[in-house]
Amino acid sequence: MRRKLPLYNSIQTATTPLGKGMASPQVMGTVYIETYGCQMNVSDSELMAGILSGIGYYLLDRAEDADVILINTCAIRENAEEKVFHRLQHLNSIKRRKPDTVLGVCGCMAQHLRQQIIEAAPFVDIILGPDAYRSLPQAIHAARSKDPFVGLKLDRSEDYADLAPIRKDGVRAWLTIQRGCDKMCTFCVVPFTRGRERSISVPILAEECHRLVDEGFKEIVLLGQTVNSYQAGKHDFGDLLVTLNQVEGLKRIRFTSPHPNDASEPMIEAMANCDKVCQQIHLPLQSGSTRVLQAMRRTYTANEYRDLVAQMRDRMPNLSISTDIIVGFCGETEEDFQQTYSMMAEIRYDSAFMFKYSDREGTLAHKSLTDDVPEKVKIERLQCIIEQQYQISHQINQALIGKTVEVLVEGESKRSTDDFFGRTRSFKTTVFPRLSANVGDTVLVQINSATAQTLIGNIVSPGN
Ligand code: 5AD
């Protein structure tokens, strides 16, 4: 049975009685959760918040005020882990002032670097991997009795489908549909930190989607490590999109991140035919060189990726595409890099996340390849593609000037309370004078200027 309690974010509200119709549980304490890394981690933090709320913990938004501090971590690149080690030292200063504070490291880095955490941060009380969140109550209980707790068992059957996450209010909800990864890309630590792939059934997800709409969410983002390899019984990812498209009151559906090899005909057809599914895809390329793709074990060639993009654009001419690129992978030559550079120019991505290769212990590349591209070359290559992508994003956005786009209103813009911001169906941030629009409305906005990151315009048709 799913349980759900309101989210409290300050000590003051934490001590007020719960909302109408709800039994007031015993207050067990307060918790602060800090999240690093991908949307999957954001979603996992919401899950942890749900678990702890269910046993009477209240969520706070300041580490200093909380009885329990949990850091949900990322292991994908070295700098993500360095950031957390740094942060842990700061959090230890809170523990020194308030020795009863419980400090936990959760998620991928906990799974990946258990020993290093114990050595470099012996003051950490809890180490919990991504499949061990059910033990959070037990872990906190142990830690509060000064008994450190380590939970790192990967569990192929754990999908947390029976638990209710607590989400931040807003228009967009993250919905994890699949956990783990079976792909074994040589550069990637995720299969080792998150274990094997498993999917949540279509009826459970459809029910959750209805619930999200009832709670006021307008858009859902389906999450999975390779989200489109989703397979629950006989239902594939295309089936799931078609089913969720029927959820009344839901305005938009997105998903992230798909793997090019699992971009099946049914997925493309569902994207093209389902009115709620946004024609936007984040399709990681990683490299434009087939030789490097093979070394990465990406299981597609540069030409196969090109053909897939052509097929999708043929079916959806306005498809917005973004990507992930790694430069400086083991053995990447100047010629390999040039192939990535020119493929990005050829495909003309709307945007891209671009990274220097970071050698990760435990990965296949770490075991059998050499991280031989000098750091200086990695940095130069990275700068080179960042500059090119900036120009392309700018040009694509400039071409939208004068056009009218549908925007889902998300909230006040950072710069002015007179302006709202929202996203287009293609996931571009758009800023405009709010007029009489409300958060959660979809409005039509005519674009009158654009940067590489943002569109600026005016509402031409009121919301609904
Ligand atoms: N080094 C650099 N980037 C990486 N990514 C994954 N592993 C590594 C690594 N070892 C990038 C990939 C992936 C994204 C989430 O992070 O581009 O798609």
Phi, psi of 460 (to 5 degrees): -110, -10
Hey, which of 355, 356, 366 would you mutate to test ligand 1's pocket, going by the most ligand atoms within 8 Å of its Cβ?
355
**Position 11 confidence tier, pLDDT thresholds 50, 70, 90:** very low
**Phi and psi, residue 426, nearest 5°:** -85, 5
- The rounded Å distance from CA 362 to ligand 1 centre is 14
> Is 365 a residue whose pLDDT tops 70?
yes
Tokens of 234: 């006989």
Cα of 371 vs centre of ligand 1, distance in Å, is 14
Q: Is the pLDDT of residue 10 over 80?
A: no
- CA–CA dist 399, 216 (Å, integer): 34
Rg (CA), the chain: 23
Burial of 266 (0-12, 13-18, 19+ CB in 10 A): middle
- Which tens digits make up the pLDDT trace of 332-350? 999 999 999 999 999 999 9
Could you tell me which residues are beta bridge partners of residue 198? 179
User: How far, in Å, is the centroid of ligand 1 from the Cα of 352?
Assistant: 12
Q: What one-character DSSP code corresponds to residue 119?
A: H
Q: Please give the DSSP secondary-structure letter assigned to residue 72.
A: E
Complete DSSP assignment for 367-389:
HHS---S-HHHHHHHHHHHHHHH
Task: For residue 29, give Cα distances in angstroms to 40, 307, 309.
Answer: 26, 55, 51
Go through 181-199 and write b for each residue having 16 or more CB atoms within 10 A of its CB, e for each that does not: bebebbbbbbbbbbbebbb
Q: What's the pLDDT at 425? A: 98
Position 174, amino acid: W
Calpha distance 238→241 (Å, rounded): 5
- Token digits of residue 417: 């309370």
Q: Answer yes or no: is the C-beta of 305 below 6 A from any ligand 1 atom.
A: no
Q: What is the pLDDT of residues 301-323, one digit of tens each?
A: 999 999 999 999 999 999 999 99
The predicted structure's pLDDT at residue 462: 78
For ligand 1, the distance from its centroid to the CA atom of residue 432, given in whole angstroms, is 34
Q: Give me the amino acid identity at 435.
A: L
pLDDT for 252 equals: 98
> What is the residue-averaged pLDDT of the chain?
94
User: 3-class SS at 172?
Assistant: strand
Cis before 257 (ω within 30): yes
CA distance 200 to 302: 32
Atom 17 of ligand 1: nearest residue by CA position: 324
Dihedral angle, C-alpha 201, 204, 205, 208, nearest 10 °: -170
Q: What is the pLDDT of residue 25?
A: 63
- Does the beta carbon of 190 sit less than 6 angstroms from any atom of ligand 1? no
Domains of the chain: 29-151 (3.40.50.2300), 170-278 (3.30.750.210), 279-399 (3.30.750.200), 404-461 (2.40.50.140)
Q: Look at residue 17 and tell me whether its pLDDT is greater than 50.
A: no
75 Cα to the center of ligand 1, angstroms: 10
Average pLDDT estimate for 226-245: 98
Strand partners, 280: 320
Residue 340 CB–ligand 1 contact under 6 Å: no
Q: Which amino acid belongs to residue 384?
A: C
